[in-house]
């Protein structure tokens, strides 16, 4: 099986499980509809795919973490809904479709994000209960919680918002994006090692995810300058227009490209130590050269 086939297999596994998890009958139809609108808007499922890939690479059973991996995708989607709101990034399009608040209004969009976050933890806690409160499941949920909270994604978002229009140094830029983007990628990889019961590999896995997360964000910043609006599914040039600090505005386009290559290479080198199948290695290169 080649990389593209393997990636699609993992994406289909995630999508099918998300479809099953979202069969909700005891909640208002409007909120479920708004949750599904963004959750099934065409994401690549990179975070849950990473969870599955790391777990399998370390000898684990991906089915044991599938619900937890889907929780991470729900948390990621909630963050996008809230990011797009007028009080945050004020975006009208996401993945080529009108953003959630443009379709359902700001109030329902806020609630849809809240609902995805809460439902993710409901699913995770059910997974813990179903597995007799096994330590590795509680450890995995701790990783997810910290990565998405004030020392992770939310903390990074606060730095991002408060840095608009201000000059920041390189250390703060890296720290901001490690929290805002990298921590959820780190949790995605970490739970793969934890559920595979390969705690001794966590340092390697987190080192891989750190480099991957930074490379991912740099490429995102580059695409905001050089990307194709149709392929990206959103407006380009918005970071510069909004006076946001990015790897391109701080380092310039050419150095940003060099940094993307450096962090991707470092991630790819570590991937070879984790995954004999080379799926993680190829995924790293795929993310470096992506156009959306």
Q: Which two tokens stand for residue 143?
A: 């990783």
The pLDDT assigned to 229 comes to 67
pLDDT at 205 over 90: yes
Distance, CA of 45 to CA of 48 (rounded, Å):
6
User: Mean of the pLDDT values across residues 86-100?
Assistant: 93
Q: What is the pLDDT of residues 129-171, one digit of tens each?
A: 999 999 999 999 999 999 999 999 999 999 999 998 888 899 9
Mean pLDDT value across residues 74-98 = 95
- Higher per-residue pLDDT: 237 or 207: 207
Query: In the structure, what pLDDT confidence band is assigned to residue 292 with cuts at 50, 70 and 90?
Result: confident
Cα–Cα distance for residue pair 289/216, rounded to 1 Å: 10
- Reported as a pLDDT band with limits 50, 70 and 90, residue 234 is low
Each residue of 126-138: pLDDT tens digit?
999 999 999 999 9
User: pLDDT tens across 36-69, in order?
Assistant: 999 999 889 999 999 999 999 999 999 999 999 9
Phi-psi region of 105 (alpha: psi -120 to 50; beta: other; left: phi over 0): left
CA 68, CA 225: separation in Å to the nearest integer? 34
> pLDDT band at 96, cuts 50/70/90?
confident
Is the predicted pLDDT of residue 238 greater than 80, yes or no? no
Q: Which among 7, 90, 89 has a CA at the least distance from the CA of 50?
A: 7
Task: Compute the mean pLDDT over every residue in the chain, rounded to the nearest whole number.
Answer: 95
Decide if pLDDT at 285 tops 80: yes
Whether the per-residue pLDDT at 231 is higher than 70: the answer is no
What percent of the chain clears pLDDT 90, i.e. is strictly above it? 88
Element (H, E) at 103: helix 100-104
| pLDDT tier at 226, thresholds 50, 70, 90 | confident
C-alpha distance from residue 253 to each of 176, 211, 248 (Å): 19, 19, 5
| Model pLDDT for residues 104-119, shown as the tens digit of each residue | 999 999 999 999 999 9
Instruction: Sketch out the chain's domains with CATH numbers.
Output: 3-288 (1.10.600.10)
**pLDDT at position 237, please?**
65
Residue 255 pLDDT > 70, yes or no? yes
């Amino acid at each position: 099986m080649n990389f593209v086939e393997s990636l699609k297999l993992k994406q289909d596994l995630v999508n099918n499980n998300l479809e099953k998890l979202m069969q909700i009958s005891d909640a208002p139809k409007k909120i479920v509809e708004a949750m599904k609108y963004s959750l099934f808007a065409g994401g690549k499922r990179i975070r849950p795919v990473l969870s599955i890939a790391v777990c399998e690479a370390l000898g684990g059973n991906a089915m044991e973490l599938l619900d937890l991996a889907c929780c991470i995708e729900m948390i990621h989607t909630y963050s996008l809904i809230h990011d797009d709101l007028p009080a945050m990034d004020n975006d009208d399009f996401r993945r080529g479709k009108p953003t959630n608040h443009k379709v359902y209004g700001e109030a329902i969009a806020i609630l849809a994000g809240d609902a995805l976050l809460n439902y993710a933890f409901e699913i995770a806690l059910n997974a813990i209960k179903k597995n007799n409160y096994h330590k590795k499941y509680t450890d995995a949920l701790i990783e997810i919680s910290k990565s998405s909270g004030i020392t992770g994604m939310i903390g990074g978002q606060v730095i991002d918002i408060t840095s608009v229009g201000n000059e920041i140094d390189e250390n703060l830029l890296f720290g901001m994006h490690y929290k805002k983007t990298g921590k959820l990628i780190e949790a995605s990889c970490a739970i793969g090692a934890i559920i595979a019961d390969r705690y001794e590999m966590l340092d390697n896995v987190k080192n891989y995810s750190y480099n991957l997360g930074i490379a991912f964000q740099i490429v995102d910043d580059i695409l905001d300058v050089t990307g194709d609006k149709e392929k990206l599914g959103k407006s380009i040039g918005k970071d510069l227009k909004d006076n946001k600090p990015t790897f391109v505005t701080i380092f310039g386009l050419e150095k940003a490209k060099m940094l993307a290559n450096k962090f991707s290479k470092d991630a790819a080198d570590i991937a070879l130590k984790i995954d004999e199948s080379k799926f993680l290695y190829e995924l790293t290169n795929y993310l470096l050269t992506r156009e959306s």
